[in-house]
A and B are shown apart, each in its own frame.
Chain A
Amino acid sequence: MDSASIIEWLRPDWFFDLTVVSDEYNRGRYLAGLWMTVQLSVISIFLSLIVGAVGAAAQGAPSRTLRVLVGFFVAFFRNTPPLVQLYFFYFAIGTVLQITGDDGRPEPLVSNFGWAIISLSLFAGALNVEIFRAGIEAVPKSTVEAAEALGYKRLQIYKDIVLPLAVRISLPALGTNLVNLVKTTTLAYAIAVPELLYVAAQIWSEDLNVQEMMNVLLLSYVGIVAILVWVLHHWEKRLRIPGYGR
């Protein structure tokens, strides 16, 4: 690339001459894709937090079988590619799980959007289990012993001492994982969920404005992630204990 083409590449027209801005049809598609990505992100974040909390609680359960099962779940979802997981759910299990629709033809029980949510939640949830458990384990034993010495009951210690500290310890790792989850929602493209990447690809294949759409796409994701980071940052700040930690 010589300097002229770099300047050409950096020229600001795409900012003004964009079909997603100028063309109403494309704008509608883009906004629908954006909304789909936001939905995917928010629902998956919510479900993955539940998966993480339940899993971490189960890993502390007295039942050995339960702990082993959660261990298997976490290890499996953390060490296999999320894309293959998604394919497995959508193409393999989704094909098997079919019901006969009103018109007598087989219909999938769960939509591609549904499978994307399930797959993403389980993938991110598996890591959340680890994060929450690490947070609980990182609470200093001496703090717990001090509470013990003051006569706190086990549940009280868990609720009033361990959990509040564990949440604060987990937050940075949790934030990283949730940002990753938002980035991973792009995989839904592969099973034709009309999210941001999917609609962008549609637009650029029709309008042949790959470069412009790519820039819009990257900026959109950086924007979404920035909002999430901002929210997490404020949450962390609100929970901060003066003088505690670094």
Chain B
Amino acid sequence: MQYLKKQPAPVNGHLPVLLPMRSTGEPLPLTDRIFNLWTASLLFVACAAALVTPALAQQDGESQRSILEILLEWTPTIGSGFAFNVLISICSMAVGTVLGVGLGILQVSPLRIVRQVSWTITQFFRNSPWLVLLFYCILLIPFQIEIFGAEVPFPGWIKAVLGLSLPVMAYMSEYVRGAIMSIPVGQWESAESLGFNRAQTMREIILPQTVKRILPSWMNLYAVLTMATPLVSIVGVNDVMALTRAALSAEGRVDLLIPMYLYILCWFFIYCYPISAFTRRLERKFSVQL
């Protein structure tokens, strides 16, 4: 850090070679300093206003409602739809994380066959398109299953949660494997020489140290997952995207299209941007320590 803060002395013959890459020496990247949550919100309000104002003027004298009015009218519906997306993302993240940590630990198993099988599963789900996995779960999981004689219904959104948690599991598995491998072998050896068995070493010594390394990737994965949730509208789950399209067809106005889609983009942006900004801050913080 000390080294980074040092300004190059204006010595004779100093060539300002890296002038274009100004952000290197600055404490925060340019995008973060000028582009925070507040400026983002302001920008989108401005954008929306710019789009809405001409529409307003155009609509003057007619009995139709203004674009802004329509957006406001639909806001509760869109808000509840968005909340549903957030619910789906949280459930998928929880399921995917638990499965992924398990799979990741299996990937460093001392048994060769276990390692290979878990590696194959990881690679398969990591490289399959999210939408295809979603179709797979939606179409091939039965509507209800029998557990101990009781009929348990399986609604579409639960299947969607499972479908989205599969890629999350695969990514988590890779992060966990990478983090475990990055722990110096001396940690294993010293734990071993103190008499810890493998499970204890993993639980008490290795995994706690991986948390810090995984956290930024994990949060980034959550943001990516949240941005994948509108996919569930394609397979027939009534999420924010499905509601928006229903709203658009109910209104049936061409001039509403751009503002409405921008409005939805704003919802996601305002939810996801802080997460990714915080992720980058964490990454910087941890990378300095290492």
Tell me whether B139 is interfacial, beta carbon within 8 Å: yes
CB distance from B240 to the nearest CB of A (A): 9
Of B17, B132, B140, which contacts A197 at CB under 8 A?
Answer: B132
Interface contact B276-A68, CB-CB below 8 Å: no
Interface contact A137-B24, CB-CB below 8 Å: yes
Give complex CA distance A95, B276 in Å.
32
CB distance from A141 to the nearest CB of B (A): 7
Q: Mark B240-257, 1 if CB is under 8 A from A, else 0.
A: 010001001000001001
Interface contact B229-A72, CB-CB below 8 Å: no
Contacts of A211 in B (CB 8 A): 140
State which of A23-31, A213-221, A232-240 sits at the interface with chain B: A213-221
Chain B contact residues: helix, strand, loop or mixed? helix
How many A-B residue pairs have C-beta atoms within 8 angstroms? Tell me: 149
Interface contact B19-A179, CB-CB below 8 Å: no
Tell me whether B211 is interfacial, beta carbon within 8 Å: no
Q: Mark A71-103, 1 if CB is under 8 A from B, else 0.
A: 110111011111111011001110110000000
Contacts of B248 in A (CB 8 A): 91
Contacts of A118 in B (CB 8 A): none
Interface contact B269-A225, CB-CB below 8 Å: no
Interface contact A218-B136, CB-CB below 8 Å: yes
B: number of interface residues (CB 8 Å): 53
Interface contact A60-B20, CB-CB below 8 Å: yes
Interface contact B269-A92, CB-CB below 8 Å: no
Give complex CA distance A93, B83 in Å.
27
Interface contact B273-A183, CB-CB below 8 Å: no
Chain A contact residues: helix, strand, loop or mixed? helix
Tell me whether A186 is interfacial, beta carbon within 8 Å: yes
The residues of A with any CB-CB pair to B shorter than 8 Å are 59-62, 67-68, 71-72, 74-76, 78-85, 87-88, 91-93, 95-96, 133, 136-137, 141, 144, 147-148, 152-154, 157-158, 162, 179, 183-187, 189-190, 197, 201, 210-211, 214, 217-218, 221-222, 225-226, 229
The residues of B with any CB-CB pair to A shorter than 8 Å are 14-24, 30-31, 34-35, 40, 43, 124, 127-132, 135-136, 139-140, 223, 226-231, 233-234, 241, 245, 248, 254, 257-258, 260-262, 264-265, 268-269, 272-273, 276
